[in-house]
Amino acid sequence: MLKFISVVFCFIVSFDVLADEPITPLVPIEGLSPDKVKLGQQLFNDNRLSKDNSISCASCHLLSKHGADNRTRSIGINGSQGIIKTPTVYNSAFNFVQFWDGRSRTLNQQVSGPIHNPIEMGSHWLEVIDKLSADPAVAVQFKTLYDNGLTAANVADAITTFERSLITLNSRFDRWLEGDEKALSANEKQGYQLFKAFGCISCHQGRNVGGNMYAYMGTMGDYFSDRGQPITVADYGRFNVTGVEDDKFLFKVPSLRLVALQRYFFHDASERRLVSAIEVMAKYQLGRNINEQDAELIAAFLRSLVGQHPLLEPQ
């Protein structure tokens, strides 16, 4: 009996400790209509959303990889190049705003951005609706799922519903948070402790390990001067939305949930190695010079954040 009480007590203590962690497990979003998710996925992959029928949402958001593309800048219609690195669409439902500069407050608002952007899809809703209306099968789907049928608002709603289903669950780190001590290696646990001790957790916390606040790029150093490249419009971040001088170089903090799968890092895609990106962030955001060994341990922790989704290639 005493042994049983001891085991229960230890479990409760362990659970309480994990419950106090600044990162919480990802959970699926409940109540999504399966039929709308299916329609949204279809539209997410539909090239007709672009002016010349050449690209879809999926062209820049590779769902089999990490929810973004493997370029420094995405390519839109007519070979146009974007001005900022494409962020992942996975887990974006948990971001407090959308886009690096936060110009859309919801996923639903975000949908219109690429469609209307002249160097992305270069189209507009009237054109998109005309194309989709010419497809009887699509028109029937909308008539079945929405009282007012095929409209711009309903196209955006379907795509948003699909995007809200793109949650990467059951990461090894989440399993550890839920009490599975064997889910993480000793190095990964040490990396997490360093992640907290160095202060990375101050901006990257919550269930999305980021995505819930703004931060200046170069809080503790002149990142843009040291970068050695001219400042671009995209570098101004939130300023491009508000016009407020103090908002220059202010960006939405990205989620780190799939950062270990990325090909490039930061809004400007200036780093190609995860360990190097960690070192840069430590220097310019925290004012710390960390050694490569500690950066490698933090990278090991970040790899444990990668979860699972049916559309994401197994890691």
Task: Report, as residue numbers or ranges, the catalytic residues.
Answer: 120
Question: What are the phi and psi torsion angles at 265 (to 5°)?
Answer: -130, 150
269 contacts 162 by C-beta, under 8 angstroms: no
Nearest-angstrom CA–CA distance, 155 and 119: 21
Q: Which residues of 208-236 are buried (b: 16+ CB within 10 A; e: fewer)?
A: bbbbbebbbbbeeeebbeebeeeeeebbb
Nearest-angstrom CA–CA distance, 127 and 134: 11
Coil, strand or helix: which one is 154? helix
Residues 6+ apart with CB under 8 A from 50: 56, 76, 77, 115, 120, 121, 122, 123
69 contacts 60 by C-beta, under 8 angstroms: yes
Coil, strand or helix: which one is 22? coil
